[in-house]
Structure 1
Amino acid sequence: MFGYVTPLKMELKVKDYEKFKAYYCGLCHYIKKNFGNIPRLSLSYDMTFLAILLDSLQEGNISYDQFFCLVHPTKKKLKIINSDALNYTSYLNIILFYYKLIDDVNDDKSLKAKLASIFLNKGSNKFKHHFSNIHNKIVTELDNLNKMEASDCKNIDEIAHPFAELTGFLLKSYPLSLLNDSLELREKLYTLGYNLGKWIYIIDAVDDLEKDLKDNKYNPINAAMNPNNYEFKILFETQKERIEFLLLSCSSQCYNSFKELNFVKDSAIVENILLFGIMNKNDVILNKYNLTDNNNCSRRSVN
């Protein structure tokens, strides 16, 4: 359930795309600073977006540093080095990935996930120490989600709620002050996060739909939209418009929330991700299942 919230490069100015990459590399280095080298493998585009969004609502300039990356050693890259938002999201990155691994262990008996979770256990304990109230919320909502999935919940809005609620809470609960901070601002962040979390949960379900049906695993799309137990091809062909409507509805709500925020900087990057990036991801994942018209790829506006 990671890696869906990305920009659409062709719609970004070069300087803005370079700044996005600097945030991504900055998050990687904050994870290293706070948790060590191995946990950097959990690096997430989704947490990069949260950092940019929160930073864009705070006053103060950001600072860059050049470095050589082991993955791309031929030339220097840029990273952001003085971001409280990156520090916060580095903790979120670790704890959410840790619980994803635990979920994989419980669901699939994955040895790989079990070994990886051991390396992140120390980081999860560090998160509990620094953000105990947020940790309690994470545990509560993920437990609610697991129980609903285990009960074969057939209501797509109900089953998406725990993860949506959690994402909204993580944005709303940012522990530092924002420009013109207020309860109203925090509620707007919650609403944006809620709809983004709902979108992430649904797009992940769509992405996994064919595999989950083949493996006879719970999938919320299948549970909510397949009362006659159709095979994958028939299910997707008959429910594609309904699925697309759900995704577009979440996308539209995210963008509407974006327009209600007063940004200090980097609004172009945030807008690109919430407008073009999400819509592009919808197209890519829906069209990978395009069983009848592979050449038909359309983009819809969320205005």
Structure 2
Amino acid sequence: MFGYVTPMKMEMKIKDYERFKAYYCGLCHEIKKNYGNLSRISLNFDMTFLGLLLDGLSYDKTSVKKIHCPLHITENKAIIIDSSALDYASSINVALFYFKLVDDVMDDKSLKGKIGSLFFQHKEKKFSLSYSIVNKIIVNELENLKKLENSLNFNSIDEISHPFAHLTGMLIKAYPNELINDTLELRDELYILGYNLGKWIYIIDAFDDLKEDILKKKFNPINHLFNNNSLTADEFIPLIKNRIEFTLLNSSASAYESFKNLKINKNYDILDNILSLGLMDKNHKILNKYCQNNCKCEE
């Protein structure tokens, strides 16, 4: 359930793309600093967005440093340093990755997930007190989500996506550092943005996995809610695609509307690209990834 919130590179100015990469690499090194070198395998684009957004609303001055990266031996990489937003994003990144590994073990008996979860299970002890409070929110909402998924006691896509949507909203709203012109109204707007973005992530992830889940007879909320006649993946996906697309477009549009209500101090163009173009590009790619030349998905 990670890596969907990305920019549309072809529509970005070079300076903006370089800045985006500096945040991404900055988050990577923040994870290394706080949780060790191996923890960098948890790095994902969604938390880069979190860092960009919160830093764009913060008092922190942007500091950039060039470093030598073992993965890019031919060049020095620019990274954002001394960012409270990236420090926060690094902890959230590690926490969510750990619980994803635990979920993989429970669902698939994954050996890789079991080994990984053992490595990550003590990382939360390194959280600051303020981050530990946020970690409790993560634990509670993921438990609520798992209960719904296991019990199958839900009747709509809104109901099953709520725990992850609420979790995402709270992760942004509960940022423990002061923001520029910090008010309850600002925090509520951040919650709405995060809620709709989290709903979008949950649903697009479910559609992304839909064919594989049907083939392997694994739980998938879209299949459970709408495939009442137990159709095959090839039969079902064209029928449900437009309905899921409508929900995804509503969620992404609501997230973008909340973003437009914010007074972003920096990173505006990058964030605008991600929320207006990046999400739409991801919608198109994933909604149509099963389609062939004569696919009914496009009808």
Structure 2 length-normalised TM: 0.96
Correspondences of 1:235-254 after superposition (within 5 Å): 235-254=236-255
In the alignment, does 2:172 pair up with 1:135?
Answer: no
1:37 aligns with: 37
Structure 2 match to 1:80: 80
Shift of 1:229: 1.2
CA distance 1:227–1:154, change in 2 (3 Å): farther
CA–CA distance in structure 1, aligned partners of residues 198 and 266 of structure 2: 23
Gap regions ≥5 residues in structure 1: 298-303
What is the identity, as a one-letter code, of the residue corresponding to 1:9?
K
Alignment of structure 1 residues 11-160 onto 2, 5 Å = 11-127=11-127, 129-152=129-152, 153-160=154-161
Does the CA contact (< 8 Å) of 2:197 and 2:255 recur in 1? yes
1:68, distance to aligned residue in structure 2 (A): 1.5
Deviates more, 1:118-127 or 1:285-294: 285-294
Deviations 1:165-224 (A, max 9, x none): 000000000000111000000000000000000000000000000000011011011111
Q: Aligned letter for 1:155?
A: S
* Structure 2 residue ranges without an equivalent (≥5): none
Matches of 1:295 and 1:14, distance apart in 2: 38
- How many Å apart are 1:82 and its aligned residue? 1.6
Aligned residue identity for 1:85: A
Q: CA RMSD in A?
A: 1.7
**Aligned-partner Cα distance in 2 for 1:237–1:30:** 43
Q: Where does residue 9 of structure 1 map in the other structure?
A: 9
CA distance in 1, matches of 2:228, 2:295: 27
CA contact (8 A) 1:95 1:127 kept: no
| Cα contact 1:154–1:223 (8 A) shared by 2 | no
Q: CA deviation at 1:61?
A: 2.5
- 1:7–1:276: 8 Å Cα contact kept in structure 2? yes
- Residue in 2 aligned with 1:187? 188
Bigger CA drift: 156-165 or 52-61?
A: 52-61
Q: Distance in 2 between matches of 1:227 and 1:294?
A: 22
Which SS does the other structure have where 1:115 is aligned? helix
Equivalent position of 1:271 in the other structure: 272
Whether the 8 Å CA contact 2:60–2:84 is kept in 1: the answer is no
CA distance in 2, matches of 1:225, 1:5: 26
Deviation at 1:239, TM superposition (A): 1.1
SS in 2 for 1:64: strand
Residues 50-102 of structure 1: per-residue CA shift (max 9 Å, x gap): 00000111234201111121111111111001210000000000000000001
CA distance in 1 between partners of 2:211 and 2:14 (Å): 37
> Equivalent residue of 1:250, what SS?
helix
Q: Percent of aligned positions with the same letter in both sequences?
A: 54
Describe how 1:254-269 pairs up with structure 2 within 5 A: 254-269=255-270
One-letter identity of the residue aligned with 1:6 = T
Q: TM-score, normalised by structure 1?
A: 0.95
Distance change >3 Å, CA 18–CA 296, structure 1 → 2: farther
Structure 1 CA distance for aligned equivalents of residues 77 and 297 of structure 2: 38
Distance 1:188 1:156 in 2: 23
SS, match of residue 131 in structure 1? helix
Paired residues in the alignment total 298
Q: C-alpha distance in 2, partners of 1:199/1:80?
A: 28
CA contact (8 A) 2:241 2:297 kept: no
- Partner residue in 2 for 1:301: none
| Cα shift at 1:293 | 4.1
* Change beyond 3 A, Cα 1:64–1:235: same
